[in-house]
Amino acid sequence: GHTRNGDFMFFINLFFLNSFLGFIMETSLKYLLYPNMHNGILFGPWVPLYGFGALFIYALYSLIEKKLSWKKIWKVFLLFVSVVVFLSLLEWLGGTLIEFLFHKEFWDYGDQKFHLGSYISLRMSLLWGYNKYFKLQRQRSCEDAPERLTHAPTQPHQERIQNRRSGAESTG
């Protein structure tokens, strides 16, 4: 199974990968759809807000999957609602802090229906929830990709992957 160092590196990679993908997404939106959009307050190709969001969502996902013995549909519903609420709060906090610290408003959802102030709208919150839920599903299927790339798929290795997916392997 994963070692403690391996788990640490997984979370470091999760943070930086999502920070980088957030930068790519925001830069693409800026150049393709919203030329007046401000995307990021830091130098370099990363937006840490996406990294922190990914870490929290992964932890929440793991908690729901491992600790609740509900039917899958209720787990999906709880995860989706939790992600929507969390990301809406994170977006509001990020926008409020940027406005307070830098005296700039990087985005404004005030022209959308069902908005709450400038930084939260129902449309964007649902879009984030949908996006992150399906990203988690893809991520789960890729968790063992580094091992598959560096090791020949032997029978014991395939059994470890299957055990990890079924939750049978211990995490200690």
Mention every residue, 6+ apart, whose C-beta is less than 8 A from residue 42: 48
Could you read off the pLDDT of 136-151 as tens digits, one per residue? 777 666 665 555 555 4
Whole-angstrom Cα distance, residue 138 to residue 150?
20
Mention every residue, 6+ apart, whose C-beta is less than 8 A from residue 44: none
Q: Where do runs of H (alpha helix) occur along the chain?
A: 4-32, 48-67, 72-102, 122-142, 145-150, 155-166
Could you read off the pLDDT of 34-44 as tens digits, one per residue? 777 777 677 78
Going by pLDDT thresholds of 50, 70 and 90, the confidence category of residue 169 is: very low
Under DSSP, the state recorded for 170 is -
Beta bridge partners of 115: 121
